[in-house]
Amino acid sequence: MTWVHRAATALCISTILAIMSPTPSRGQSGESKRQATDNAINDPEAAQPIAEDLSAKLKKSSVAKAIRKVGDWQLGRAVPSFSQDWTYAALYAGYAAVPEAVAGDKYRLAMKSVGEKFQWQLGPRPFHADDQAIGQTYLDLYSVFHDEQMIAPTRQRIDTMLQSPDPAEKPLWWWCDALFMAPPVLAKLSRSTGDAKYLEYMDRQWGITSASLYHPKEHLFFRDATYLDKHEKNGRPLFWSRGNGWVMAGLVRVLQAMPAGDPARPKYVAQFKEMAAALAAVQGKDGLWRPGLLDPGAYPLPEISGSAFITYAYAYGVNEGILDRSEYLPRVKKAWAGLLSHIYADGRLGAIQPIGGAPGEYTARSSYVYGVGAFLMAGSEIYRLARN
């Protein structure tokens, strides 16, 4: 990309970000603003046909086209509602993962502007994993720009957490989604600073959450402790596909940042492989996963955010030789084709369940930013897998 193209891209991003509304005060949740955006996205009058210009072939050009189609559509609509919330943190992580060969500097510059808007601060709750998730993108940008101010507030916040006692009433990461939100921040911070204390703390907290929520026989995570005794209509335990998708994506991002020789690494690889096999057993004929993993027939639609996170993990596992290529590459291909079948002509990604803690209702047109983030992560890893 020439300096002329870079300047034009930067000007385009600056123009988009100039319309961003002021950051909500700490006393005012961004929920109403986000809900307004989601309502506009899910307006039935805005419905379009499914896209017919995308190919599921694992060719770099085809994968890149799908990434840009969804990524560009979402960027244009999400900018006014950008926040430090976990929902947007997942979206930012997706944009930050997109290779430069796919979209040039456009997404990276947009994410850099997000960091500048929030002065590289995490969300308001000091030790809450959801409010730490945005730190993943700050750390990814730091790895490119090497500007200490990008990670200084994150490091300060995490250092304070490490010096504080564990919560007495329940685990720090008491819900399985948290394993995507916070552990990659700690792992990336350890890699960026060379300080092993962040990985050591992450490893201890991950172990606490696994001991509480990971089923040793089913090899899946309950969403939180309130679901330990809940069941599907068929009597099987209730395991949420999106919750387990969050965990799989968290495992990927921890393994990406963890040194190859770290003594804790083998147990993360083992858990990753166990979960991959359990999820393979319930992959749908359309390549996707239903909201309730062990009673798929009870759910009419696949759930795209969880399916995209699982696809991301499968593609990473194949790329890194962690998962058997002959077994999992066909699953990646099938899942990618399934994901593309839920992209609309304008680039909107559908069949994404709204915010929740368990399988819930949604429509084929439902679209939410965290699901798009998951799709961008999946696409970026599949792009690495695809042939020229």
CA distances from residue 61 to 122, 190, 268, 382 in whole angstroms, order as listed: 35, 35, 33, 11
Name the pTM for this structure.
0.90
Q: Splitting the chain (388 residues) into consecutive groups of 10 residues, what average pLDDT does each group show?
A: 39 40 34 45 67 98 98 95 97 98 97 98 97 98 98 98 95 98 98 98 98 98 98 98 98 98 98 98 98 97 98 98 98 98 98 96 97 98 94
- Whether the CB-CB separation of 56 and 337 falls below 8 Å is answered with yes
**Domains, the chain, ordered by start:** 57-385 (1.50.10.10)
Beta-bridge mates of residue 293: none
Q: In angstroms, rounded to a whole number, what is the distance separating the alpha carbons of residues 312 and 252? A: 8
Nearest C-alpha neighbor of 357 from the set 176, 216, 88: 176
Q: Residue 289 phi/psi, 5° resolution?
A: -120, 140
CA angle 227, 240, 86 (to 5 degrees): 100
SS3 percent helix, strand, coil of the chain, rounded to 5, is 60, 5, 40
Catalytic residue among 38, 85, 130, 177: 177
pLDDT at 43: 57
- 177: annotated active-site residue: yes
pLDDT at 12: 46
Q: In angstroms, rounded to a whole number, what is the distance separating the alpha carbons of residues 199 and 184? A: 9
**How many CA atoms does the CB half-sphere of 377 hold within 13 Å?**
34
pLDDT at 388: 79
CA distances from residue 266 to 77, 157, 262, 322 in whole angstroms, order as listed: 41, 29, 8, 11
pLDDT at 204: 98
Per the rule left: phi > 0, alpha: psi between -120 and 50, beta: everything else, 194 is left
